[in-house]
Structure 1
């Protein structure tokens, strides 16, 4: 348990004992937890850090509750605290990239592959259970604003630009509200936003095809074919599922691969699987995208063990991008088992 969580639980007990408005505040503020998590995730690119920062946000809010004058909503006030908590946390930290964000060209799929644990990599965000779309937290956590490509692009921005762009473009705050939140003039906010937009345009590839929702029938069909191809070790079938410009990357390996042929060659060359039955999958969603959780057969135990989380960017033209996260500790964050019997 983090120190912030221990402190928050302590102050929650104190609030209940006081029986005053703080208790009501804490009860009311909890309904914003999920959208604040998404906000802190956009800022940091880390699920783990976002969870800690949300706890710190509530702790700071509780401590400063006497200074809350009600000039804004509790939600807006919490976002201000969360934003500044994130900015403080990000001071002196390096951005969290994906391999494609390191600036290197596409890798040779037959060459050596190497893990780079010196880089703090971008992490996926498990999707929340389906909620009422009229809820403001659902609006704030729109799929486009947490898609891996967008969050990865945000990591190219300095933290202050990142905050301004998220508050203005995702949360649709007015410039004056953003200025108050980040302690800058309105003119400075507009300048930061202009620079942030220009830099995002440089790092985000434009696409002509349409991203498909994870619950759409088209996505379900493509995901089923993707899983079947891997489980049957039918890599020729897999080739046909990717778009012509598809990208594959798998942090903490620092290479990335471009095009269906290279992606399949990578699998033939470096994947531990050798035959049908060596791989099994469970499905879930993350970042508003479908996820195929891969379990690899361990010949020594005869069981399939957690191996990779494949977060897919599914388009109406095929599978355009796969980020295969190798960090098996993420399986628990998705309520996935470590082993399939």
Structure 2
């Protein structure tokens, strides 16, 4: 076989370059879309990859009757719906029942075995390069952890309709074309999704942004409480109505007193047991956590996402999974 015959077809190479130029700019927002649909960053990354493979295969047949962005969202949405056909709903502990009211006891991690848990989405994976501050706020609002958790209670088709219409601002006609249905079905699905979400706890009205000095102060206080094993600092930063959830544990706690008691009794340990580094996830303040093991070495433990208001932290959702640390781009050993 001659060297010439092994060269890449220049037409194919040019098409690949054009495909990348037309589509790569949308990869991060498609990741956010797939994450809202499935509630898992790892699954979302796989679904985006599958979407790009399907798009590449069909690129030669793309006739430009819609924008590239609309075309990609149509592919990605249907990839997600295919994946959700036999998918178990991802949840947080509060989505499974009321707060823990039983006798004092440490949480049992084995109780949550077999449950598909919601995962946090590190902001760094979907940070937009857009210069419009308003669009960036809208992006963050649509990724709030409480909202994404509530979306998982919707049937997949309703979830897709709500995201396409109210987050991505597609028209009813565009949404119907993407989903292969009618505008009447889109209207009905949107009404049902809104009604369902209205009965669920999504997010507080008085949230403050992670850059707000008050949010930074509350985050610093939360970190200090763990690193110094000081329940008194938790008293200062948690609001009276605060809640505490931690996957893979089924039990969750409502009220500042219950949260602090659980943390002080079973979690805080001794000063120096924890190391926490500030991060951001789901458009909210977060921490990546390391815990000292039996040999005295700080090892990856997980992350926690905080819901922060002007009057204190109202929610802590912890994810006890060492793999989460790497997903946030943090090292195996804290600096």
Could you tell me the TM-score, scaled by structure 1's length? Answer: 0.90
> Structure 2 vs 1, CA of residues 186 and 109 (structure 1 numbering), >3 Å: closer, same or farther?
farther
The alpha carbon displacement at 1:188 in A equals 0.5
> Structure 2 vs 1, CA of residues 158 and 70 (structure 1 numbering), >3 Å: closer, same or farther?
same
**Alignment-derived partner of residue 188 in structure 2:** 191
Matched, 1:279 2:274: yes
Task: Pick from 286, 292, 296 the counterpart of residue 287 of structure 2.
Answer: 292
Question: Which portions of structure 1, spanning 4 or more consecutive aligned residues, are displaced by more than 4 angstroms?
Answer: 13-17, 135-141
**Alignment-derived partner of residue 25 in structure 1:** 19
For the 8 Å contact 1:26–1:62, the answer to whether it is kept is no
SS, match of residue 337 in structure 1: coil
> Structure 2 vs 1, CA of residues 174 and 95 (structure 1 numbering), >3 Å: closer, same or farther?
same
1:25-174 matches, cutoff 5 A? 25-108=19-102, 110-115=104-109, 116-128=112-124, 131-134=128-131, 139=136, 142-174=139-171
**Alignment-derived partner of residue 301 in structure 2:** 307
**Alignment-derived partner of residue 254 in structure 1:** 250
CA-based RMSD of the aligned residues comes to 2.2
The alpha carbon displacement at 1:133 in A equals 3.2
Question: Which runs of 5 or more structure 2 residues have no equivalent in the other structure?
Answer: 1-6
Give the distance between the partners of 2:314 and 2:66, measured in 1 at CA. Answer: 42
SS, match of residue 98 in structure 2: coil
The alpha carbon displacement at 1:106 in A equals 3.3
Question: Which runs of 5 or more structure 1 residues have no equivalent in the other structure?
Answer: 1-12
> Structure 2 vs 1, CA of residues 85 and 298 (structure 1 numbering), >3 Å: closer, same or farther?
same
**Alignment-derived partner of residue 8 in structure 1:** none
Cα deviation digits, residues 272-326 of structure 1 (max 9, x gap): x4322221111111110111122112241x2211123111011111001011100
For the 8 Å contact 1:109–1:266, the answer to whether it is kept is no
SS, match of residue 253 in structure 2: strand
Give the distance between the partners of 1:51 and 1:310, measured in 2 at CA. Answer: 21
For the 8 Å contact 1:161–1:192, the answer to whether it is kept is yes
Q: Which moved more, 1:261-270 or 1:131-140?
A: 131-140
**Alignment-derived partner of residue 7 in structure 1:** none
> Structure 2 vs 1, CA of residues 206 and 324 (structure 1 numbering), >3 Å: closer, same or farther?
closer
Matched, 1:179 2:176: yes
SS, match of residue 219 in structure 2: helix
Could you tell me the TM-score, scaled by structure 2's length? Answer: 0.91
Cα deviation digits, residues 33-90 of structure 1 (max 9, x gap): 0000000000000001000000000010111112211011111100000000000000
> Structure 2 vs 1, CA of residues 57 and 190 (structure 1 numbering), >3 Å: closer, same or farther?
same
> Structure 2 vs 1, CA of residues 303 and 103 (structure 1 numbering), >3 Å: closer, same or farther?
same
For the 8 Å contact 2:302–2:324, the answer to whether it is kept is no
> Structure 2 vs 1, CA of residues 235 and 59 (structure 1 numbering), >3 Å: closer, same or farther?
same
The alpha carbon displacement at 1:107 in A equals 4.4
Cα deviation digits, residues 125-152 of structure 1 (max 9, x gap): 0113754433799659711101101100
> Structure 2 vs 1, CA of residues 294 and 107 (structure 1 numbering), >3 Å: closer, same or farther?
farther
Give the distance between the partners of 1:213 and 1:195, measured in 2 at CA. Answer: 30
Give the distance between the partners of 2:166 and 2:100, measured in 1 at CA. Answer: 31
The alpha carbon displacement at 1:112 in A equals 4.3
> Structure 2 vs 1, CA of residues 283 and 17 (structure 1 numbering), >3 Å: closer, same or farther?
farther
Give the distance between the partners of 2:12 and 2:288, measured in 1 at CA. Answer: 46
